[in-house]
Structure 1
Amino acid sequence: MKFSLLSGLATVLLSAGSAAAAAAATGTIDNGPFPDDLNGSNFTYPWPVKVFQFTSQLQPLQMAFMDIKPTCWPNNKTAVLFHGKNFCGPTWETTIRTLAGRGYRVVVPDQVGFCKSSKPAAYQFSLNQFAWNTRGLLNALGVGNVTVIGHSMGGMMTARFGLQYPETIDEMVMVDPVGLEDYVQKGVPYISVDDSAVTEAASTYGSIRGYEQAVYYVGEWKPAYDTWVNMLVNIYYGSKRDAYVKNQAQIVDMVLTSPVAHYFGDLKPRTLLIVGDKDKTAIGAQWSPPDVAQTLGHFDVLGPLVASQIPDCTLYRFANLGHAPQISDPDAFHKVLLGWLNTQ
């Protein structure tokens, strides 16, 4: 009788997970070939780019992604990696190689509005929509449960994915996520998409590097970081410049108006939160009054606070790192990540 009850429970849970996964975008996989300048980015990716073709908000769209098979004996697990606003799939390259070397299949999408994915002229951006699109991609690939790892805005998206599809997640990792605080609630003034687009359009190599050096890398700079700055400049001044500038302004608006900070207590998956104590990333700090700006982006405080709110959470703090520990100290970062993944 006990075996029968357990089997029945497993069936119910499997059905629930399948139903959750089914509530997602539907589409097909296109293996290419594609033009070098796919959707306005001619940056060369370290693995072949594929495309998830689907319809969203009454228009056909392309979601570019990389799908990397394990380079050692498969562990039958899949990791999906979510990039941040100023990042693309390739910025996860070292993490991809590390996970593939431990038996993971690794799926790395560029979200709509970013990098090699579509830059729609009219789109309502939301974290829920990003999660919907990504779950649809995974379904099209035949992927069930996943380990979700997100950085920066991708960490914010990881939280939303965890709320939207908890039954399809084995565990989740948030790396220096934006949105650990509700920026508007803390006093960040609203600015229009039009005003944000002016700032986005003015982005140059110098402005992007200056911001990243100060905020992401604690004032330090390594020549390798230039790769990721030039990757962005390539899109800002590429063939889809106008659409990209508008999309990025819309995404700033999305981050400000779609907080996840009030829902951390509702997250069900086992969670690892990684922060660099010297990270000071805060959306809107640059146009906030000084008395507001100085209260934002204190990851040394936000990390422990949020970790205490998530029911099943492990916190790891890098005392001397900033916003991108997977890039600035990959050896230390991956030691922490793999150590936690192995404690299941």
Structure 2
Amino acid sequence: MLIRPILTALLFVAISAPGHAQEIPAMDAELTTFQYPYPVHTIQLQIQGQQLHMAYMDLQPSKPNGSTILLLHGKNFPAAYWDSTAAELGKSGYRVIMPDQVGFGKSSKPAHLQYSFQLLAQNTKALLDTLHLSKVAVLGHSMGGMLATRFTLMYPDVVEKLILEDPIGLEDWKVKVPYQSVDKWYQGELTQNYEHIKKYQLDGYYGGQWKPAYDKWVMVLAGWTKGPDAKRIAWNNALTYDMIFTQPVFYEFENIRVPTLLIIGLNDRTALGKANVPEDVRKTLGNYPVLGPQVSKRIPGCKLVAIPGVGHLPHIQAFPQFIQPVLAFLAGS
């Protein structure tokens, strides 16, 4: 059956052609037409009176080294964007678990849910329990870095090593950014389209340097805005933005007690709510060249790797520079 791979390829072509953003096909809440790089499985979760499902990929290496790594995605990406990272880790013998958190990717998008990082951590622990995994290394990117931090703090006996890749939450935005209600987040999400999403990623993630390979990750978000579940997706996005803004991990880095690697792109300037503050304040937000060293000093024994000329997504924008320190850290060197 080649229907899904062919469809996915056609979708990539459609959005790669200049001036053809309107050709992006609609996508449903669970991305049924979007092909993931590895087989997708699900577990069922009973949460706040609802039966929800959590999708995940489980890459089994051909020559296992006995270790497992858990990859936690960011806010604006599905677990599928770990494709190259998982492949390289698998070649080195690691079993790789890649969940879509509830509210993201191919997992449930509930009509109502009180989101918290503690809840997402519990869901992730339930997945590991289902797979009978008691020890893992954890790699979290962006929002996944906040979740990885919370997961490590909640389950220190499970986490062997922690890797944070351009995590958000290295500062507490509430100190400088005015609060925005869930309703306002929701209204903003309803206005999203391909052009807005691409501009945000171009400016905020890649420092103004775009490559065609980045388009497929815009396609997922843009396809949702055209789909039958657009309002439900927007509502979940609003709820998770509120979670991120109101539930900082910033004050707890000193409590991490596992070996930690912090990787940052020196061009990263990601910060929540930057558009809601004056220009002089905006310049002080998301300054990763400053935030990275500050936070690494607060995490006992943390190793910092800073990658020049790279923005918010080192594992996509500069994969060789990203994966080398990851593999070295996991191997203990």
Q: Which residue of 1 aligns with 2:276?
A: 287
1:49 aligned to 40, 63, 66, which one?
40
Q: Which runs of 4+ in 1 moved over 6 A?
A: none
Question: Relative to 1, partners in 2 of residues 1:209 and 1:150: Cα closer, same or farther, differing over 3 Å?
Answer: same
Aligned equivalent of 1:307: 296
Counterpart of 1:246 (choices 229, 235, 240) is: 235
8 Å Cα contact 1:80/1:149 also seen in 2 = yes
Establish whether residue 212 from structure 1 lines up as the match of residue 201 from structure 2. Answer: yes
Q: 5+ unaligned residues in a row in structure 1: which ranges?
A: 1-35
Q: Which residue of structure 2 aligns with residue 27 of structure 1? A: none
State, as a whole percentage, how many aligned pairs show the same letter.
43
**Deviations for 1:106-144, whole angstroms, at most 9, x for unmatched residues?**
110111111111011110111110000000011001111
Q: How many residues are paired up?
A: 307
- Unpaired stretches in structure 2, ≥5 consecutive residues: 1-7, 9-26
2:50 paired with 1:59: yes
Q: What residue in structure 2 maps to residue 31 of structure 1?
A: none
Distance in 2 separating the partners of 1:95 and 1:266: 28
Matches of 2:65 and 2:29, distance apart in 1: 34
1:296 to 2:285 alignment: yes
TM-score by length of 2: 0.90
Query: Post-superposition shift, 1:38?
Result: 7.1
Partner of 2:67: 77
Aligned to 1:8: none
Aligned to 2:14: none
Alpha-carbon offset, residue 105 of structure 1: 0.7
TM-score, normalised by the number of residues in structure 1 = 0.87
Confirm or deny: 8 A CA contact 2:29 2:233 kept in the other structure: no
Q: Which amino acid aligns with 1:64?
A: A
1:129 to 101, 119, 123: 119
Shift of 1:313: 0.6
Q: Deviations over 1:24-45 (max 9, x none)?
A: xxxxxxxxxxxx9774313111
Amino acid at match of 2:91: G
2-structure distance, mates of 1:105, 1:201: 38
Q: What code does the residue aligned with 2:43 have?
A: F
Q: Give 2:86's aligned residue.
A: 96
CA distance in 2, matches of 1:165, 1:290: 40
Which of 134, 138, 158 is residue 168 of structure 1 equivalent to? Answer: 158
Counterpart Cα distance in 1 of 2:225 and 2:319: 27
Counterpart contact for 2:28–2:228, Cα < 8 Å: no
Q: Deviations over 1:227-257 (max 9, x none)?
A: 1110221223323221110010111111110
How many angstroms does 1:190 deviate by?
0.4
> What is the aligned-residue RMSD (CA, Å)?
1.3
Q: Which residue of 1 aligns with 2:3?
A: none
Distance 2:38 2:254 in 1: 37
Q: Which residue matches 2:22?
A: none
